[in-house]
């Protein structure tokens, strides 16, 4: 929390968007309430964290619904919801995952690939980013490992794994997901104010 000479302004600085959001909501509530002391701060932060965790589950369920992907384990929908608080090239990863899912399904239907596999792989390919503070490794490989852990099909996990190698062979589904992601990442305006570039 940064309080400087600017009147009426308090800055919250954090690279972790989840923590920044919790801090923002907590600070707003504390200022509205007016009772600001250590015990009250802890109480409000704990309550906001619980609410945000519920929000994450809700966001994951909405994302799966929007992408028309049914039957995901609750743990995966929770990880999906966490992508709301992660970015790639300054783009919200939850929105990007939904868009990749939809676009790769459209591409698949045009060339005769498996639409269902493309939808699921597009939606779940970036799950590894949601846990990259906890698990080391290339995020597509981590995503594939998570999907294996929850018993998703071998075909689906292969499509996700292939995103890191970019060697697709005859796998049209992996190619559809790759192309969809590249198209979406090259839209005008993507990459402006890129947080990763600032950090480097």
Each residue of 16-30: b (16+ CB within 10 Å) or e?
ebbeebbbebbbeeb
Cα 40 versus chain centre, distance: 31
Which burial class, exposed, middle or buried, applies to 77 when counting CB atoms under 10 A from its CB (0-12, 13-18, 19+)? buried
In this prediction the pTM is: 0.81
Helix axes 115-124, 74-82, angle to 10 degrees: 60
Residue by residue, DSSP assigns 119-150 as HHHHHHTTHHHHTTTTS-S-HHHHHHHHHHHT
Phi first, then psi, for residue 92 (nearest 5°) are -60, 125
Per-residue pLDDT of the chain (200 residues; tens, 9 = 90+): 887 777 878 888 888 888 889 999 998 898 888 888 888 889 999 999 999 999 999 999 999 999 999 989 999 999 999 999 888 777 789 999 999 999 999 999 999 999 999 999 999 999 988 887 777 778 899 999 999 999 899 999 999 998 888 788 888 999 999 999 999 888 766 655 555 555 65
pLDDT score of 4: 79
Q: pLDDT tens-digit profile of 103-117?
A: 999 999 999 999 999
The pLDDT score that the predictor gives to residue 190 is 62
Q: Give the pLDDT score at 188.
A: 67
pLDDT, tens digit, 9 for 90 and up, residues 57-95 = 999 999 999 999 998 999 999 999 999 988 877 778 999
> Are residues 79 and 123 in contact, defined by beta-carbon separation less than 8 angstroms?
no
N residues, the chain = 200
Alpha helices by DSSP H, 13-37: 17-33
Residue 167 pLDDT: 81
């Amino acid at each position: 929390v940064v309080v400087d000479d600017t009147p009426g302004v308090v800055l919250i600085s954090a690279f972790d968007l989840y923590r920044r959001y919790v801090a923002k909501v907590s600070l707003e509530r504390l200022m509205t309430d007016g009772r600001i002391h250590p015990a009250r701060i802890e109480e409000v932060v704990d309550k906001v964290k619980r609410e945000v965790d519920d929000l994450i589950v809700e966001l994951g369920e909405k994302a799966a619904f929007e992408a028309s992907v049914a039957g995901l384990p609750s743990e995966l929908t929770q990880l999906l919801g966490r992508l709301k608080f992660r970015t790639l090239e300054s783009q919200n990863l939850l929105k990007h995952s939904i868009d990749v899912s939809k676009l790769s399904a459209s591409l698949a239907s045009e060339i005769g690939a498996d639409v269902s596999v493309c939808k699921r792989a597009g939606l779940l390919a970036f799950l590894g980013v949601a846990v990259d503070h906890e698990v080391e490794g290339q995020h597509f490989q981590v995503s594939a490992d998570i999907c294996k852990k929850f018993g998703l099909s071998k075909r689906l996990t292969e499509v996700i794994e292939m995103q890191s190698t970019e060697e697709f062979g005859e796998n049209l589904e992996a190619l559809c997901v790759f192309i969809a992601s590249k198209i979406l990442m090259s839209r005008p305006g993507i990459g402006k104010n890129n947080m990763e570039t600032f950090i480097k």
